[in-house]
Amino acid sequence: MVFKLIAMDPYYYFQVGWNIFDSIIVTLSLVELGLANVQGLSVLRSFRLLRVFKLAKSWPTLNMLIKIIGNSVGALGNLTLVLAIIVFIFAVVGMQLFGKNYKDCVCKISSDCELPRWHMTDFFHSFLIVFRILCGEWIETMWDCMEVAGQSMCLVVFMMVMVIGNLVVLNLFLALLLSSFSGNNLSASDEEGENNLQIAINRITRGINFIKAYIIGLIRRMLGRKAKSNEGDGEDDNSKKENLMLNHMNADADPKTNLQMMESSSTLTDGVSSIDFVTNAKVTVNIPIAKSESDLDIPNDYDYSSDDETGIIKKKVEEVADNAVQSVTEEKVPEEEEEEPEGEPDMIEPEPCFTDACFSRFPFLMVDVTEGKGKTWWNIRTTCLTIVEHNYFESFIIFMILLSSGALAFEDVYIEQRRVIKILLEYADQVFTYVFIVEMLLKWVAYGYKVYFTNAWCWLDFLIVDVSLISLTANLLGYSELGPIKSLRTLRALRPLRALSRFEGMRVVVNALVGAIPSIFNVLLVCLIFWLIFSIMGVNLFAGKFYYCLNVTAEELFPLDIVNNKTECFALIEQHDDVRWVNLKINFDNVGMGYL
């Protein structure tokens, strides 16, 4: 801060909001250091945690979320007031209706006839119960209320708090808050350009790449090798010649002259080394350009072959004659499209079984499908594709999936006592497994391995069928009682997931969830930042304060009038062997436990 004040001048320094925020944090830190020996002021140390919010200056997502929440606070003010009024009303109603019952019938809910921690004898405790109901923990307190005041009245009050306070007002509060996170607010502004975080990451990446290149170059020099030249230097003369074309035409000349000039491009590229491009003003060298930068727009409905260049040049001469300069690249002759007879449905043809890499590595996989065994194999694949694409086949598979999922529900703890049902379920499981295996084989033949194993839904089906197949094989071999096999059999519960790929709506929902993962991850990181602040604050305020003195024999806590602190508990430990100074499992002794 001092360096910034000197460099920027105090006047300009305090013109920036982030600098003001930083100066406040530094001032509070200095005050905390000056009062470090004063008891009870450790809370000032927690203000230093606000320094985490400086990340918003370099983190666009955090900055955006903070701005949206800050802008929505004003709009939520009225609703917050309504929620507070409702909590106040129900706290007073609970105190008026059930306060006397808690005093008179306290022995029904407390073994020592003393008021428990949660009661409604005063406004404060009644307010805490209403707040607990809004947090969703209403079952235990409602049971105590029903014990002391009767079932009917407690049910009515608690249900009203749940419906009005939680389901209506609180959810409306959340809905209004979430409405602030609209698509327009969440979309990043294109005018902002790169943020500081991205710039820092790019610089780090460039630095790492530079270090790698330097180390590799140093090793090569030590080994006496030359560094690799650029890829562009390795081009041969033929590839360079292919990139040289005529780029200049005389717009005033006759089209036939231009055509002759363009037809001579093939001979020009062959003898490019002997042409004087400097003396001939009409001939220039065209550097290879990107497709999007080409001046010559080629219709997408043309399919060109690279063998004949002059054909397309003749067809385009009418268009290029009016332009002074045109870029002419290698193009293909448009093939005449065969007219399909109207009224005939499109034939469903299978995709290739394997990828291009497999065909290039194993040429024997390529077969002629026009005659012999290849034609027979093609007909088999076409038939399988027709079967798996049929609506009846899809409906049958969905029915089998639902039936197999329902059969899994009967395998409860009493299945060993019901021998008939167990045998029926075993045979049914075998039938389901065989059906799913046949379905998988049909899809392999119909779609091919390339299409099948590049589809995530097919991978899900494949893994679930594998689990069923392994379970069936283990049962037939007599290894069904092994621990790993039992654990694997539990994965059969994933069978209902196969139904997801059969329904369009479910696929849309799953794809939407998967697509939202990056945004959810960003928001989760922001939440972790906020939770880190409160976790560190809890460590500063409550570290080591969750210990208690326990009698391990009776498993009871010592009352405060006997043991009030650690010193008194250790005095009892020296006198008794069954006394322990124990910490709660949930505490704030470190940041990790504070997160939990």
Could you tell me which CATH class the domain 75-182 is placed in? Answer: mainly alpha
Confidence of residue 40 (pLDDT cuts 50, 70, 90): low
21 pLDDT higher than 60: yes
Residue with structure tokens 């945690």?
49
Structure-model confidence comparison of residues 236 and 393, the more confident one: 393
Which residue has better confidence, 154 or 69?
154
Burial of 335-371, coded b for 16+ CB within 10 Å and e otherwise, reads: eeeeeeeeeeeeeeebeebeeeeeeeeeeeeeeebee
What sign results for the dihedral spanned by CA atoms 138, 143, 147, 149?
positive
Q: Which of 232-246, 536-550, 570-584 has the lowest mean pLDDT?
A: 232-246
For 372-514, CATH gives: 1.20.120.350
What is the arithmetic mean of pLDDT over 366-374?
A: 76
Q: Which residues of 475-490 are buried (b: 16+ CB within 10 A; e: fewer)?
A: beeeeeeeeebeebbe
Q: Which of 55-69, 340-354, 356-370, 480-494 has the lowest mean pLDDT?
A: 340-354
Neighbours of 133 (CB within 10 A): 23
Q: What's the chain's length in residues?
A: 596
pLDDT tens digits, one per residue of 562-577: 888 888 888 888 888 8
DSSP for residue 38: S
Give the mean pLDDT of the chain: 73
- 239 pLDDT higher than 70: no
User: In terms of pLDDT, which residue wins out, 14 or 326?
Assistant: 14
What does 82-106 look like in DSSP terms, one character per residue? HHHHHHHHHHHHHHHHHHHHHHHTG
Bridge partners (DSSP) of residue 557 are 550
Query: Residue 50: pLDDT above 80?
Result: no
In this prediction, residue 244 carries a pLDDT of 38
pLDDT grade, residue 46 (50/70/90)?
A: low
Q: Where are the domains of the chain?
A: 2-58, 75-182, 237-320, 372-514, 518-595
What band does 127 get if pLDDT is binned at 50, 70 and 90?
A: very high
pLDDT digits (tens, 9 = 90+) for 128-167: 999 998 888 888 889 989 888 888 888 899 988 888 887 7
With cut-offs at 50, 70 and 90, classify the pLDDT of residue 465: confident
Out of 318-322, 325-329, 430-434, the most confident range is: 430-434
Given a cut of 60, is residue 298 above it in pLDDT? no
Q: Where are the beta strands (DSSP E) in 335-469?
A: none
For residue 22, name the pLDDT band (cuts at 50, 70, 90).
confident
Q: What is the pLDDT of residue 346?
A: 53
How far apart (Å, rounded) are the C-alpha atoms in residues 262 and 247? 9
pTM above 0.85, yes or no: no
Q: Provide DSSP, 323-350.
A: -SB-------PPPPPPPPPTTPPPPP-P
The residue ranking higher by pLDDT, 45 or 161, is: 161
Look up residue 408 and give its two tokens. 């899994």
Beta bridge partners of residue 548, listed in sequence order? 582
pLDDT at 124: 92
Lowest mean pLDDT among 12-16, 77-81, 446-450: 77-81
Domains 75-182 and 372-514 share a fold: no
